[in-house]
């Protein structure tokens, strides 16, 4: 019995996960990390984990693979929260009152979802 | 009407698709508002949102417009995922769009960030010389890095 099935969907997810991993590593070693840089790194890390979950969901042929579906969605939401925070802080290096309010609102929205 | 497992799963997927669309629309709007704010700051004259997005003035305004456009790509992909959960487009079309435009989004976002981040250092490290090093290299660098300077 095959335990891993590399369909075109799985390969596509793996490509995106690998690219996300490269970008995250590049930002980690290259950037002088201020507040907005860390949020961007969190966004790309979330994308990497989300796409890796998508790859495992589609490629692994085991009963527990269904857990990667909710994990992909949850991590994706955290990525969107990180990019929203990045939008509020870039190019400055400090979190403002507006960004803190947006963080609370987006976390409440995440709990609602 | 009884809600079966399949319909509950469909509802969950549609809810997630809608939430993803909202969460990608939000930063796009923030980037657009920031574009106008930085353009206003550069021109010292209030301009409309469309004017600012068409003709952003200043490096920060241009960067924010680029981020807003890239978030529009992500928003369009979220809408397509929502349409797929409503069975308006096929899974094949969604996967093809994701494979193309998601990679384009990732790479473009990094390029825009690297070109516009104020403290980004592309490569190399700042070399720190001790006074002893500078004394040893007096002939080469002494005129620039004098201890008395």
pLDDT at B135: 54
Q: Kindly report, residue by residue over B70-88, the tens digit of the pLDDT.
A: 999 999 999 998 888 888 8
d(CA A31, CA B119): 7
Is there a cis peptide before residue B60, judged by omega within 30 degrees of 0? no
Does residue A113 carry a pLDDT above 80? no
More confident residue, B36 or B10: B36
CB contacts, 8 Å: A27 with chain B: 110
Domain span holding position A38: 8-112
How close is the nearest chain B Cα to the Cα of A12, in Å? 6
| Domain locations in chain B as residue ranges | 5-120
Is the predicted pLDDT of residue B67 greater than 90, yes or no? Answer: yes
State both tokens at A36.
């907005």
| A50 falls within a domain | yes
Between A and B, how many residue pairs show a Cβ–Cβ distance under 8 A? 87
Instruction: Report the domain count for chain A.
Output: 1
Confidence of residue A93 (pLDDT cuts 50, 70, 90): low
pLDDT digits (tens, 9 = 90+) for B17-56: 888 888 889 999 999 999 999 999 888 888 888 988 998 9
Q: Looking at the predicted structure, is the pLDDT value of residue B4 above 70?
A: no
- Is A31's CB within 8 Å of B15's CB? no
When mean pLDDT is compared across A52-61, A95-104, B99-108, B118-127, the lowest value belongs to B118-127
CA A110 to chain centre: 14
pLDDT at B136: 56
Indicate the burial class of B38 (C-beta count within 10 angstroms; 0-12, 13-18, 19 or more): buried
| Interval A18-46 mean pLDDT | 89
Mean pLDDT value across chain A:
86
Chain A residues whose beta carbon lies within 8 Å of the beta carbon of residue B61: none
Mapped onto helix, strand or coil, the DSSP state of residue A100 is helix
In a domain, A1, yes or no: no
Mean pLDDT on B93-114: 89
Residues of B in contact with A20 (CB under 8 A): 106
Searching chain B, which residue's CA lies closest to the CA of residue A82?
B27
């Amino acid at each position: 019995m095959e335990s891993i099935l590399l369909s075109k969907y799985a390969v596509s997810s793996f490509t995106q996960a690998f690219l996300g991993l490269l970008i995250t590593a590049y930002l980690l070693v290259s950037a002088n990390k201020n507040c907005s840089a860390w949020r961007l790194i969190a966004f790309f890390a979330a994308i990497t984990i989300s796409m890796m979950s998508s790859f495992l969901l589609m490629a692994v042929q085991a009963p527990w693979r269904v857990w990667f579906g909710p994990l992909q969605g949850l991590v994706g939401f955290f990525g969107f929260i990180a990019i929203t925070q990045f939008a509020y802080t870039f190019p400055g290096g400090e979190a403002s009152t507006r960004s803190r309010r947006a963080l609370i609102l987006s976390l409440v929205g995440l709990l609602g979802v | 009407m009884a809600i079966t497992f399949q319909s509950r799963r469909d509802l969950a997927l549609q809810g997630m698709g809608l939430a993803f669309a909202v969460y990608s629309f939000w930063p796009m709007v923030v980037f657009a508002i920031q574009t106008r704010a930085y353009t206003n700051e550069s021109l010292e004259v209030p301009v409309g949102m469309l004017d600012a997005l068409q003709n952003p003035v200043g490096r920060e305004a241009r960067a924010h417009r680029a981020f807003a456009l890239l978030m529009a790509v992500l928003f369009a992909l979220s809408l397509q995922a929502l349409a797929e959960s409503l069975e308006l487009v096929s899974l094949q079309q969604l996967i093809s769009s994701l494979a193309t435009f998601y990679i384009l989004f990732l790479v473009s976002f990094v390029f825009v960030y690297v070109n516009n981040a104020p403290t980004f250092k592309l490569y190399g490290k700042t070399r720190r010389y001790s006074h002893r090093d500078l004394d040893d290299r007096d002939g080469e660098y002494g005129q620039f890095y004098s201890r008395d300077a």
